[in-house]
Amino acid sequence: MNKFATVIMAAAAAALLVTGCSKSDSSKIKVGFSQVGAESDWRKASTESIKGEAAKRPNIELTFSDAQQKQENQIKAIRNFISKGVDVISFSPVVSTGFEDVLKEAKEAGIPVVLFDRAVDVSEDGLYVSFIGSDFVEEGRRAARWVLENVGENANVAELVGTVGSAPAIDRKKGFEEIIKDHPGIKIIKSQSGDFTRAKGKEVMESFLKSPEADQIQVLFAHNDDMALGAIQAIEEAGKKPGQDIKIVSIDGVKTMFEAILEGKANCTVECNPLIGAQLFDVVEKIHAGETVPARIPSQEGVFDSKNITKEVVDGRKY
């Protein structure tokens, strides 16, 4: 082979190598994720699950954004992911409405969307390919069933509602009320949002305990453990015994709530599993490979109280 041909072949081989190298970069699946925020222990565990799982998968390139519980930040992040040309977008919507336009933009850009943890209300199909998360209505039902089975047919309930307009707040309330509607002795006498945070939960519980109905409250139903833990502080500061004077049932199943139940300061937590990062990236890989994925992927969860919480169970909790 003459010298000129050798040079051309070498250059072509080098180009292939570079292309090959750049091709290996493009083989990474680029995922844009918008997280609600860091409002609760549950959310922090959710974020750790997502970031931890992405770090284990060399084929995943994760761009993660924290919306600080603001919808406008989530919409901005999703638009950034679209302009960046990611392969898949996923997010946990802070509220269930107001995402239709940006989801249509993602669809027009040909970028599949996976809903994580929470669902959205949209008027047309095809704006997301799958929803991975818990059944919040069932979680609300489980909380109400625990009250009926462990407190009885008559109880005045104070309710700490989650973030107004969010799927878990809407659906947990719906599930709780679906069960108690057939039991008129169970009455919700106070209800206000604590925005899923410990600080706000404490503040609202303090206002409940200063209200005319204060001494009628027999049960606290909190839409998440963080608000319940804040309420426990408020109940103690008011000179009452949480878990005894006021029974406490909440949702999430975080370790600090397990510890409070073990101490007798709370009574029940309905598990809502945040550790679904692996399920997310399994779905992402299937989508990227052109495979079909289930439209709905539910999480598996239990109900925990003093009957099944031991120190060993607490020590074994992963979040």
Q: Is 252 in the site for ligand GZL (CB under 6 A)?
A: yes
Report the C-alpha gap between 94 and 37 in whole angstroms.
Answer: 8
One symbol per residue from 48 to 87: x for binding ligand GZL (CB under 6 A), - otherwise; what is it? ----------------------------------------
Question: Which lies closer to ligand GZL via its Cβ, residue 29 or residue 128?
Answer: 128
Q: Contact region for ligand GZL (CB under 6 A) — 40-48, 53-61, 153-161, 174-182?
A: 40-48
Q: How far is CA 200 from the centre of its chain?
A: 18
Report the C-alpha gap between 8 and 3 in whole angstroms.
Answer: 9
Question: Which lies closer to ligand GZL via its Cβ, residue 61 or residue 259?
Answer: 259
Q: Is 117 in the site for ligand GZL (CB under 6 A)?
A: yes
Report the C-alpha gap between 306 and 98 in whole angstroms.
Answer: 41
Q: Is 221 in the site for ligand GZL (CB under 6 A)?
A: no
Q: Is 200 in the site for ligand GZL (CB under 6 A)?
A: no
Say if residues 88 and 109 touch (Cβ distance below 8 Å).
Answer: no
Question: Which lies closer to ligand GZL via its Cβ, residue 29 or residue 78?
Answer: 78
Give the length of the chain. 319
Give the total of residues touching ligand GZL (CB under 6 A).
Answer: 14
Q: Is 224 in the site for ligand GZL (CB under 6 A)?
A: yes
- Of residues 253 through 282, those in contact with ligand GZL by CB under 6 A are 272
Closest by CA to 301, choosing from 253, 229, 250, 249, is 253
Question: Which lies closer to ligand GZL via its Cβ, residue 39 or residue 87?
Answer: 39
Closest by CA to 257, choosing from 205, 196, 319, 173, is 319
Lookup: tokens for 255: 């370790």
CB of 69 to ligand GZL, least distance (A): 8
Give the CA distances from residue 6 to residues 81, 185, 242, in Å, rounded to whole numbers and listed in that order: 44, 91, 83
Q: Which of 39, 87, 171, 301 binds ligand GZL (CB under 6 A)?
A: 39
- Of residues 118 through 157, those in contact with ligand GZL by CB under 6 A are 118, 134
Phi-psi region of 117 (alpha: psi -120 to 50; beta: other; left: phi over 0): left
What burial class does residue 305 get, using C-beta atoms within 10 Å of its C-beta: 0-12 exposed, 13-18 middle, 19+ buried? Answer: middle
The residue whose two tokens read 């779905």 is 283
Question: Which lies closer to ligand GZL via its Cβ, residue 61 or residue 177?
Answer: 177
Question: Which lies closer to ligand GZL via its Cβ, residue 30 or residue 223?
Answer: 223
Q: Is 168 in the site for ligand GZL (CB under 6 A)?
A: yes
**DSSP for 110-145, written as a single string:** T--EEEESS----SSTTS-SEEEE--HHHHHHHHHH
Q: Contact region for ligand GZL (CB under 6 A) — 17-25, 36-44, 236-244, 289-297?
A: 36-44
Q: Which of 30, 34, 42, 230 binds ligand GZL (CB under 6 A)?
A: 42
Lookup: tokens for 123: 């008027």
CB of 118 to ligand GZL, least distance (A): 5
Could you list the residues that contact ligand GZL (CB under 6 A)?
A: 39-40, 42-43, 117-118, 134, 168, 196, 224, 226, 251-252, 272
